Each structure stands twice: as structure tokens, then as C-alpha cells.
Amino acid sequence: MLTRIAVLGLLTIRPMAGYDITQTLRISRVDQWAQILPGSIQQALKRLDAEGYVVLLQTERTGHREKVVYAITPAGREELTRLLREAWSQPMRELPAQLYLALNFLDALPRSEVLDALEAHAASLDREIALWDKGAQAKLEILPSALRPVFSAGFDNGREHLEADLRLVRSLRETLADASLTQLSAGEEDGEP
């Protein structure tokens, strides 16, 4: 659904080729947080074309490459409206469910492996926050000033979620690295109370 919304939404701005859509999503970092893979853009365009939501507007040849430019159709605008209504009506709730579940089986892995995994998560979240900031800046620079507060609110909220996850990961790592907790876990494995 996210790929379809992104493709149709960008085509309401102007006709574009798949490459242009991919680049626009990459520059604003939408591809990262929406988890839209570059290959999914071309697949979505072909599917949307077959469904009558976009139409091939023109084909341009540049060197050895062929650039296919698509435009949204009236049916595509209706589909975008339907998808946006669906997106607006869905409750917002994303939790790190895998991490929560893994905590229930903490002692099934060596503590050092869990600590290393948490350290890797923290590093990954640090990188993600930096990319998030870069994408937010790029997006805000191209937006009309009247829209900036709305998009800033969304970007700020997304960043807060990332920071909350980072605080959780760092807190878990600190707690699990505590020597007394590690000894307690090791003692229980040896059959001690």
C-alpha cells in the first residue's frame, strides 16, 4: 500500500519515470522509513498501468537507456483518494515486537551475544536518526513554507520514535551488562537458587 500511495501521490505532482520516483523517494529518505525498495517502484508502475491507474505518457531514449514516463489517470486519482482514506483511518501503532518477544527468552542465548546484538541495534538506530535528519532537511527545503510545519510535525514524531527505541536498547544493554544480573543468570544455569 505504501508504494502505491508514494507512486500515485508523486504522479499527481507531475508525470515521472520510475527512476525519477525512486530518486525523489531516496533524496527525501521516504524509501527508508516506508521501506520502499527501488525495484518495487517499477513493479508498482507496471501493475498500476495494467489496472488503469497510470498511463504510459512517453518513452525517451537516452544513450542505451529507455526512460518510460507515466502520468496518473482520473481512476488513479480516485485510487489514491481511496488509499489515503484507508491510511488515515488506520491506527498508528508500531512496536518493536520482535525485541519484546526476544526478551521473554533472554537466557536462551549467551549474554555476550545479546549484548553485542543490542550494541549493533544502537549503532543502527544512531545511523537511522542521522539519515532521518538528512531526509527531513532535504524534504523541508523543497516544500512551500506553508506546508513545512505539517511535515516538521511528522518528521519530529518519527525521530522521537527512533530516539525512544534507542533509549530502550541502551537501557537494556546497560541493565544486562550489570555484573550481578549476569552472575545471577549464570548461577541459575548451574542449578543454584
Residues 15-28 have pLDDT tens digits of 999 999 998 888 87
Percent of the residues in the chain that have a pLDDT greater than 90, as a whole number: 46
Q: Are residues 26 and 85 in the same domain?
A: yes
Q: Are residues 137 and 73 in the same domain?
A: no
Please state at what angle helix 148-177 crosses helix 179-189, rounded to 10 degrees.
60
Retrieve residue 95's grid coordinates: 512496536
Q: Are residues 144 and 77 in the same domain?
A: no
Please tell me the total count of domains within the chain: 2
Which residue in 77, 72, 80 sits closest to 2, CA to CA?
A: 80
Task: Indicate the SS3 state at residue 161.
Answer: helix
Q: Are residues 138 and 81 in the same domain?
A: no
- What is the helix (H) or strand (E) element at residue 140, kind and residue range? helix 111-142
Q: The CATH number of the domain where 32 resides is what?
A: 1.10.10.10
Is residue 43 pLDDT above 80, yes or no?
yes
Q: Are residues 109 and 57 in the same domain?
A: no
The radius of gyration of the chain from alpha carbons, rounded to an integer in Å, stands at: 23
72: domain range? 2-89
Across the range 112-140, mean pLDDT stands at 88
Q: What's this model's pTM, rounded to 2 decimal places?
A: 0.65
Q: Are residues 174 and 104 in the same domain?
A: yes
Q: Are residues 36 and 116 in the same domain?
A: no
Q: Are residues 57 and 116 in the same domain?
A: no
Q: Are residues 182 and 101 in the same domain?
A: yes
- Better pLDDT: 148 or 109: 109
Q: Exposed (0-12), middle (13-18) or buried (19+): which is 96, by Cβ within 10 Å?
A: middle
Q: Facing residues of 67 across strands?
A: 60
Across the range 72-88, mean pLDDT stands at 95
